[in-house]
Structures are given as C-alpha cells and as structure tokens.
Copies of this chain bind each other. A is one copy, B any other.
Amino acid sequence: MIAIDVIDIVGTFVFALSGVMVAVEHKFDFFGTIILAFVTAVGGGTLRDILIGATPVSWMGSEVLIYVILVTIPLAYLFLNFLKKLRRTMFIFDTIGIGMFTILGLEKSLEIGLSPIIAVMMGVVSAVFGGVIRDVLSNEVPLIFRKEIYAFACFFGALVYLIMEYFYPIKELNMFVSILVVIAIRVLSIKNKWSIPFNPISRK
C-alpha cells in the first residue's frame, strides 16, 4: 500500500535525523554516525521482525530505506545548526515518527496472525526500541524509561487503531486517525507537563 511506504520513509527519515543529532552530541565520527543513524531508524522495526520471526528483516527487502538514511546524514550535517534551533520542530518530527512506526508495527503483526495484545506490544516496540538501542549504544540510560508519556502515547494510539479497525475497518483512515492520536497525546502531555507518577519512590 502506498500509504504504508510513505509512512515508512517519513518515519525512517525522522528517526535517522535524531540518530545523527545524538551522534554529533557524543562526538562520534563519520562511521559511528552512520551506524547510530541506522540503528535509530531501523532498530525498532528490526527488533520487531526478529521477535516475530519475519527475517530477513524488512529493510533488507527494499533498499529505499537504506538510501533514505544515507541521504539523511549529509542533510543533517549541512543543516545542523538550523536543526538545533528547530528543537520544537524536531520534537514534532520525532513524535510523528513514533506515531507512524507504532501503527506500522501493529499492522504488520496483525497481518502475520499475532493476537491483538501481542500486536499492540510489537507496535510499541517498533516505535520505541530504535531510541532504546540508540541510547544503549551511546552508553546512556534509555530516555524512554524516564518519559513514560512517550511509550504510553504509542500504546494508547495502538489501542485506538485496534478498536477502530474492529468497528470500521477502513484501514487508511484508521491509520491516519490513530497516528494523530499518538501525536496529540504526546504534544498535550509535553505542553501540560503530564506524567504518570506511578513509581512509589519518586512519589515521596
């Protein structure tokens, strides 16, 4: 489906950008930057594919995504100062990326016959584990573990998609709406400083 391809390309571009920016922050060299951009962009989907047994992993089937990443890196270098000023815009891009990857991962898992609860989990994995691997390789505690609205937004958007597909199976519309739900939750949660202070220690 064309919509899925577009989503995949935009999401990959956005995540590759975020990988480059972290690599620059950590002063990685050129090849390190390529590797970090790559694992950030395809890491979540790769982990999903490995877990569900869909190997060779999906980016090996279409070289488009590889070219997207390879083009993103010089672009990111060129516009680095510009991108840094655009923190807010970057955040929107990143949010669009996780929304897209959540629904893509969910859809793919449903297609190969996994149960809805597993498919929702695989949607969240697709969206957040690229960032987790990026942080582990940069020797940092994954961001995701401290900003729960991130994963929660993915989880909730995935639920919305499931419910909509059950009642009104108009796939492309439902993808669009549920991606918007992910974006809305994350944007609202940042604006209003929402968090889920469930950890009994941090409560005290």
Contacts and interface: CB of A to CB of B under 8 A. Distances in A.
Interface of A: 23-24, 26-33, 35-36, 46, 50-53, 55-57, 60, 63, 66, 77, 80, 114-115, 117-118, 121, 132, 136-142, 144-148, 150-152, 155, 195-202
Nearest to A201: B24
Contacts of A201: 24, 27, 80
Contact of A51 (B50, B80, B121, B196): B50
Given A32-B144, A117-B63, A137-B142, A24 B199 contact: yes
A46 to B, nearest CB: 7
Tell me the dominant secondary structure on chain A's binding face: helix
Given A118-B60, A136-B136, A144-B35, A29 B66 contact: no
A168 B188 CA distance: 61
A148 B169 CA distance: 49
Contacts of A46: 51
B141 A139 contact: yes
Contacts of A151: 31-32, 35
A178 B36 CA distance: 26
24 contacts: A27-B146, A27-B201, A28-B199, A29-B196, A29-B202, A30-B198, A31-B145, A31-B148, A31-B152, A31-B155, A32-B142, A32-B144, A32-B145, A35-B151, A50-B51, A50-B55, A52-B55, A53-B56, A53-B57, A60-B114, A63-B117, A66-B121, A137-B145, A139-B140
